[in-house]
Chain A
């Protein structure tokens, strides 16, 4: 089935010529010239638990591994990290790496989008993991500091009331 591509969705003819040559990152020499360097750059980022949370979320939501790998290498090429041919060479290894990270996180994922993932079904292992996290989480105890409250007594007024300090001073002067 032919995919419908809207005609107005593409760049305007000649748009790439509106900037000077070399102004775009992909028109500069690539930062990583070899496949080894580029793979090391991505491997460090993908396997870092502090950075791959959004990746795992995307996989969990049903985004295929193929699409994620394509987006990753395409953005790398656009940022001038490596050339397009390096990105094509990297694709299968990156896909395998992403699948490895997903396996490690114990989530269900689709390699090429053929298998649909039901987001409503939560695996028992995931529930157990969440419960363990909840149990391990210690409740924060807030220490109540005593607050100094200045108690203001209403000014004594009346015939039998004690004279205030100011009144004594006034009387002394008199």
Chain B
């Protein structure tokens, strides 16, 4: 039986989403003289931060709606 776990979990996610560092995009090395072969990005759905990402997307949507 759940009794108040939602509020605690929500607070925890809020703190986590605020503390998270934004993802750093790797610098592309694709010049004319670059000898690096292009590697396809790994599109693995089972990301550890899947729920936090969804949480942040929804927060952004809500904020956008409230700001018009």
Contact = CB atoms under 8 A, between A and B. Distances in A.
Interface string A18-36: 0000000000000000111
Contacts, number: 66
B1 to A, nearest CB: 7
B20 interface: no
In this complex, the member of A36, A73, A93 whose beta carbon has the largest number of chain B beta carbons within 10 angstroms is: A93
A144 B50 CA distance: 61
B65 A73 contact: no
Contacts of A81: none
Interface size class of A (residues with CB under 8 A): 20 to 34
Contact of A70 (B6, B45, B61): B6
B7 A66 contact: yes
B12 A92 contact: yes
Q: How large is the interface on B (under 10, 10 to 19, 20 to 34, 35 or more residues)?
A: 20 to 34
A137 B10 CA distance: 41
Contacts of B61: 100
Nearest to A104: B65
A96 interface: yes
Contact of A93 (B2, B45, B55, B65): B55
Interface of A: 34-36, 39, 65-67, 69-70, 73-74, 87-93, 95-97, 99-100, 103-104, 111-112
**Complex A-B, nearest 6 residue pairs according to Cβ-Cβ distance, in ascending order:** A92-B13, A66-B6, A96-B58, A70-B2, A91-B9, A91-B6
